[in-house]
Amino acid sequence: MNRFEELKTLVLSLEDEFHKFYEKDNKAAGTRVRKGMQTLKKIAQEIRTNVSISKASIASPKDSDGKQA
């Protein structure tokens, strides 16, 4: 759950920057938003990879003919 908390914290930390960019037209805040979103994308991809690996390790083994053992 640590990665989930990290995602939540990152999204919440970007809230003020989104407001500055969209409501106050602060271009520097837009750069910070883009950087934060790139970090979010990276973390999300790592989580997806870890989930896929975990699912594969949980899957039941099959015989060579494709039937479950």
pLDDT digit string (tens) for 21-62? 999 999 999 999 999 999 999 999 999 999 999 999 988 566
**Residue 64 located in a structural domain:** no
Number of domains comprising the chain: 1
**Residue 30 located in a structural domain:** yes
**Residue 6 located in a structural domain:** yes
> Which of 60, 6, 64 has the alpha carbon at shortest distance from 36?
6
Contacts of 32 (CB under 8 A, 6+ apart): 14, 17
**Residue 67 located in a structural domain:** no
**Residue 56 located in a structural domain:** no
**Residue 11 located in a structural domain:** yes
pLDDT band, residue 14 (cuts 50/70/90): very high
d(CA 6, CA 35) in angstroms, rounded, equals 15
**pLDDT value, residue 35:** 98
Amino acid at 17: E
**Residue 35 located in a structural domain:** yes
For the whole model, what pTM was predicted? Answer: 0.73
Q: Contacts by 31-37 with C-beta closer than 8 Å and gap 24+? A: 36/10
**Residue 38 located in a structural domain:** yes
Tell me which of 29 and 64 has the higher pLDDT. Answer: 29
What's the domain range around 36? 2-50
